[in-house]
């Protein structure tokens, strides 16, 4: 389990760096609410972006984005609503992205508007 946790942290670190280089600002990391977690909460201009990071050492069990099931999306949506209320960001435009990190080559696939209401 420690190996999986280390891979997840490495993926989050890589995606955070990737997004910051593209002008995103970090608002929160590993935000927890409603018994759910959002890996990264970023700001892209005026848009609040909730980013689910998936890091997999192989595609044996499919692509990382495939692990963001409807149930997972529902959990992220609930936590995101809590974050928006907690931070009085009711009027902010919102987006839900998925970022896949491949540790074998350091490649990041950033999928904007991966899901939403």
Cβ atoms < 10 Å from Cβ of 54: 21
Tens-digit pLDDT profile for the chain (117 aa)? 587 787 778 899 999 999 999 999 999 999 999 789 999 999 999 999 999 998 866 555 555 556 667 888 889 999 999 999 999 998 999 999 999 998 888 899 999 999 865
CATH number at residue 12: 3.40.1350.10
Q: What is the pTM of this model?
A: 0.88
Beta bridge partners of 32: 37
Domain coverage including residue 55: 2-115
SS3 64: helix
Q: How many domains does the chain divide into?
A: 1
């Amino acid at each position: 389990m420690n190996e999986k946790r280390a891979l997840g942290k490495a993926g989050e670190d890589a995606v955070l760096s990737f997004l910051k280089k593209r002008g995103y600002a970090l608002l929160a990391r590993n935000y927890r609410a409603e018994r759910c977690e959002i890996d990264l909460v970023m700001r892209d201009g005026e848009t609040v972006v909730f980013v689910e990071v998936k890091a997999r050492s192989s595609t044996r069990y499919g692509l990382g984005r495939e692990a963001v099931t409807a149930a997972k999306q529902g959990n992220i949506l609930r936590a995101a609503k809590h974050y928006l209320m907690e931070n009085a960001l009711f009027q902010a435009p919102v987006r839900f992205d998925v970022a896949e990190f491949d540790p074998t080559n350091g490649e990041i696939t950033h999928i904007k508007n991966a899901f939403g209401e």
